[in-house]
A = this chain, B = another copy of it.
Amino acid sequence: MSLPDAPLLRAARRQPTSFTPVWLMRQAGRYLPEYRAMRERYGFLELARNPEAAAEVTVQPVARLGVDAAILFADILLIVEPLGVGLEFAAGEGPVIHRPVRSEAAIARLPRVDVESSVPFVFDAVRRVKRGLAGKVPLIGFAGAPFTVASYLVEGGPSRDYLHTKRLMYEEPEGWGRLMGILVDATARYLNGQIAAGAEAVQIFDSWVGVLAPEDYRTFVMPHTRALVRALTPGVPVIHFGTGTASLLPAMRAAGGDVIGLDWRVDLDVGWAAVGHDVGVQGNLDPVVLLSKPAYIRQRVKDILERAGGRPGHIFNLGHGILPQTPVEHARALVEMVHELSDRR
């Protein structure tokens, strides 16, 4: 089988496959002992910046789980480091941005980012992953969507209410537009660089977009995400993912992507109907289900596959990243179940 015929890439183009391809968000993550061993040697950013180590943790879960794609190990905030905002990953607390950007004036002072020269280690990691995978499965490159990255830049870290982000949108819409423009430009270069280095597909993570009213999404986000998707190398499948997006799905689809990622909060058939059957969907098992017994996991996998109805264009995944508490054998069993229960040969 040549890589363009890999089930994941065929499904992303809505071509028939003999089984439903599956991968897991954060499959290179803390539930995996070999990943934890690497994290004992490297800090989070240190690991992401070391091409050899990043490539190793990217490739590890492919053999371990039998998934149909690798996803590059990186962080959606690597791209904001060159903006000089003081990015740090505090242990157990997630990312902190020490100098958040909350006004049009602060946005005007941001330096121009030369993506190609500022994150060369990412592109190097992609090339190493490609050698490590040896054509067995495709590699998915990824980046944060402009809204989600902007929300970190403005809030300074994770947020509950996204007060500062929404205030900037409402009160200084021109400054907001300028910030989104900077991120669209940098993210397009970042993803196209990953594609040039060998990524066969890309996923755009708009993880926190579900905090917005649909009206806010349409006004302040959709045009920018659309500009990003349009700036990407043609012919490479784009997966567009967010959480809490049940009411945003038609607008996310309008923004772009060959495949729309669904979280578990929507029935897969309802979500697919909302985005339209002329795009694919990815999802959407609640990650918490993987902590229950295999017989129960199987029941929920079956329900999702039945909702997909064997229609070409479904990529199985969790509805968000795999949880650190997940038993590795359950993750492995999930992949086997998806392959077995979707077997159409």
Binding site for B on A (CB under 8 A): 161-163, 166-167, 170-171, 210-216, 244, 246-248, 264-267, 270-271, 286-289, 291-293, 296, 300, 303, 319, 323, 325
Contacts and interface: CB of A to CB of B under 8 A. Distances in A.
B163 A216 contact: no
A170 B289 contact: yes
Nearest to A286: B213
A166 B246 contact: no
Contacts of A211: 265
A244 to B, nearest CB: 6
Contacts of A292: 167, 170-171
Contacts of A247: 246, 265-267, 270-271
A76 B216 CA distance: 31
A213 B265 CA distance: 4
Copies per complex?
Answer: 2
A119 to B, nearest CB: 29
Nearest to A267: B214
A167 B288 CA distance: 7
Nearest to A170: B292
Given A214-B265, A264-B213, A265-B213, A288 B161 contact: yes
A265 to B, nearest CB: 6
Nearest to A216: B286
A264 B216 CA distance: 10
**Could you say which of A210, A215, A248 has the most chain B C-beta atoms within 10 Å of its C-beta?**
A215
Which of A171, A210, A286, A292 has the most CB atoms of chain B within a 10 A radius of its CB? A286
Contact of A265 (B163, B166, B212): B212
Greatest chain B CB density within 10 A among A213, A216, A244 is at A213
Contacts of A166: 286, 288-289, 291
B291 A167 contact: yes
A171 B293 CA distance: 7
